[in-house]
Amino acid sequence: MIVLQLLLFCALFTLMVKIGVGSNALNGLYFYPKPVREIVYELGLTDRENVAKKRKRFMITFFAAMAAALILIIRVWKGIQSFWTASADVKGTSMCQFGIMIFS
């Protein structure tokens, strides 16, 4: 069950990045190292303000979607209603036993 949840979360991550970048590397220029960005700015392909605006828009959407997916996985799929309910399931359990619970 946990493996399926992790795979879905990773798939959402990949999909969000693919949508954010699209088929144009300039849309995801903020993922590249600074020297690469500087060369692109020097060539005049884009400017810093445009990259900053795209980065901010993507990051806000990305973090909101990833947080919402994580909350849905924990709350809806696993049926956890509160922090105390979740912590009661593992209270008094050693880390070794906790690892076995996760992977079984």
The ranges assigned to domains in the chain are 2-103
How large is the angle between the packed helices 2-21 and 48-72, nearest 10 degrees? 160
Phi, psi at residue 38, to the nearest 5°? -60, -40
**pLDDT mean for each 10 residues of the chain (104 residues):** 87 92 88 93 93 92 92 79 63 52 49
CB 62 within 8 A of CB 20: yes
Residue 58 is which amino acid? Answer: F
Q: What is the pLDDT of residue 104?
A: 45
Q: What is the pLDDT of residue 71?
A: 85
Answering whether pTM is above 0.85, one says no
